[in-house]
């Protein structure tokens, strides 16, 4: 796995194209460590998860590693949930199957090449998918069931876009560049507002409306008292980009 910083964006690349970028337990732990790095570095504003080659984003778990017991105590299936307090985008080319969809679930926005292919083959082999609750919170139940029950189906990127799971479908080979560009755009926004809006949207999937509104009001009081809010107003008045400091 490769980790690099491009301006304010942390780019994490699954780097085993000969095995369709499948993962073992060590890869999942390294991925968790990368998202911790994103959270802890104040210079970073967003992350992008991508993969080497064009055949696959990730075809799930490495079957050889599974057979060899290479999944002792991994961070799994926690990576299907929101992986960072900061925004993370998935850049998907080629196959995104099984556990590949799991790690893409942990991202907030997903960009796919037009030839990308999606599916959950676990039911073909009586394998578990403990993380499906995360997918079910991101899709309508009927759409989540379409993927979960039809294990032999391979759905195109356009179908996942219609379901609302894919943010944008782009020309093949452009998912990485598009995702980084979107992450850099996010990086120009007020960082605390971005983090708080992500928190509110994510948590509202399982909290009571009154609790969600109360948390939103707490956020509002804090945001309105920040110097970044005054900077945003000055920038708007002066017709220039805002220079946010997360203060």
In a domain, 118, yes or no: yes
Q: What percentage of the chain exceeds 70 in pLDDT?
A: 98
Residues 221 and 166 in one domain: no
Residues 172 and 226 in one domain: no
- Tens of pLDDT, residues 41-97: 999 999 999 999 999 999 998 877 776 676 776 667 889 998 899 999 999 999 999
Specify the CATH number for the domain of residue 196: 1.10.12
Tokens of residue 123, six digits: 């039911």
Residues 85 and 24 in one domain: yes
Question: Torsion angle, CA of 111/112/113/117, rounded to 10 degrees?
Answer: 180
Q: Residue written as tokens 């195109």? A: 156
The DSSP symbol for 73 reads: S
Helix residue ranges, H only, 41-190: 63-67, 99-105, 132-138, 141-149, 157-163, 175-187
In a domain, 245, yes or no: no
**H or E element in which residue 236 lies:** helix 227-238
CA distances from 134 to 88, 117, 213, 228 (A): 16, 20, 22, 33
Of the residues 167, 187, 207, which one is the last residue of a structural domain? 187
**Rounded mean pLDDT of the chain?**
94
In a domain, 246, yes or no: no
Residues 197 and 219 in one domain: yes
In a domain, 247, yes or no: no
In a domain, 74, yes or no: yes
Give the pLDDT score at 124. 92
Residues 174 and 200 in one domain: no
pTM (predicted TM-score)? 0.94
Residues 116 and 175 in one domain: yes
**H or E element in which residue 152 lies:** none
Residues 95 and 207 in one domain: no
- Tens of pLDDT, residues 115-145: 999 999 999 988 889 999 999 999 999 999 9
Residues 33 and 146 in one domain: yes
In a domain, 243, yes or no: no
Specify the CATH number for the domain of residue 94: 3.90.226.10
> 223 is in which domain, residue-wise?
191-238
Residues 222 and 115 in one domain: no
Residues 11 and 128 in one domain: yes
CA distances from 172 to 111, 113, 157, 193 (A): 11, 4, 11, 33
Residues 195 and 110 in one domain: no
- Tens of pLDDT, residues 155-164: 999 999 999 9
In a domain, 244, yes or no: no
- Total domains in the chain come to 2
Of the residues 187, 204, 219, which one is the last residue of a structural domain? 187
Of the residues 172, 187, 202, which one is the last residue of a structural domain? 187
In a domain, 123, yes or no: yes
Give the pLDDT score at 238. 96
């Amino acid at each position: 796995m490769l980790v690099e910083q491009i301006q304010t964006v942390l780019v994490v690349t699954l780097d085993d194209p000969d095995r369709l970028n499948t993962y073992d337990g060590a890869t999942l732990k390294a991925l968790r460590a990368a998202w911790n790095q994103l959270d802890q570095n104040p210079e970073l504003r967003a992350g992008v998860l991508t993969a080497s080659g064009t055949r696959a984003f990730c075809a799930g778990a490495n079957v050889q590693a599974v057979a060899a017991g290479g999944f002792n105590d991994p961070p799994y299936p926690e990576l299907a949930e929101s992986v960072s307090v900061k925004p993370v985008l998935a850049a998907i080319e080629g196959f995104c199957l099984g556990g590949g969809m799991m790690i893409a679930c942990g991202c907030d926005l997903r960009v796919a090449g037009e030839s990308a292919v999606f599916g959950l083959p676990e039911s073909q082999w009586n394998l578990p998918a403990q993380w499906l609750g995360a997918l079910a919170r991101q899709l309508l139940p009927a759409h989540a069931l379409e993927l979960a029950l039809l294990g032999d189906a391979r759905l195109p990127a356009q179908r996942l876009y219609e379901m609302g799971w894919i943010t944008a479908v782009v020309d093949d080979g452009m998912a990485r560049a598009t995702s980084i560009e979107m992450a850099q755009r996010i990086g120009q926004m007020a960082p605390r507002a971005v983090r708080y809006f992500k928190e509110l949207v994510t948590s509202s999937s399982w909290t009571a409306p009154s609790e969600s509104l109360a948390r939103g009001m707490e956020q509002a009081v804090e945001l309105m008292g920040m110097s970044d809010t005054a900077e945003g107003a000055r920038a708007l008045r002066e017709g220039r980009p805002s220079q946010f400091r997360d203060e």
